[in-house]
Amino acid sequence: MQISLYTDGACSGNPGAGGYAAILVATEDDGTIINEKEVSGGERHTTNNRMEIKAVIAGLMALTTPTPVTIYSDSQYVIYTMTKGWQRKANQDLWAELDAALKPHKVKWKYVRGHAGHEYNERCDKIARQAIQTIKQSAERERS
């Protein structure tokens, strides 16, 4: 069995309301999909980069056992920080949370170009944007 984790984060304004999404896909060695699981959420006042990191954390936290996982993201910020040693100048809290979430797993990182027709990246983007709308609607209800 193989696990692929597709992630995306989005923001309406930067900073602004943000959403994140992760899709875990378990496949047999022959590529047959066994299971898919979606995870999403958001915050009222955040940044796009924070949501990109949060998406990976949420996806990893949804794994119930230590496992090899390939993480796909359109965030150069996340991918290159983890693979090329980009400095972690901001979001120290989330980087620490990500490091902890990574510990039990054997991880490979893959960059995918955003908005280029990749099925799971497009789905993650849509789910993250829906999370933003949920956050905004919740804020509106509270103001009413």
Residue 29 bears catalytic tag: no
Residue 105 bears catalytic tag: no
Residue 140 bears catalytic tag: no
- CA-wise closest residue to 22 among 7, 36, 11, 37: 7
**Does residue 72 contact residue 112 with C-beta atoms inside 8 Å?**
yes
Residue 93 bears catalytic tag: no
For strands 2-13 and 68-73, give the pairing. parallel
- Which of 19, 41, 42, 52 is catalytic? The answer is 52
- Which of 9, 18, 41, 42 is catalytic? The answer is 9
To 10 degrees, the CA torsion angle through 120, 25, 104, 91?
A: 20
Residue 125 bears catalytic tag: yes
- Which of 99, 125, 140, 142 is catalytic? The answer is 125
- Which of 18, 42, 43, 74 is catalytic? The answer is 74
Q: Give dist(CA 50, CA 127) in Å, integer.
A: 16
DSSP secondary structure of 55-67 = HHHHHHHT--S--
Provide the annotated active-site residues: 8-9, 52, 74, 115, 125
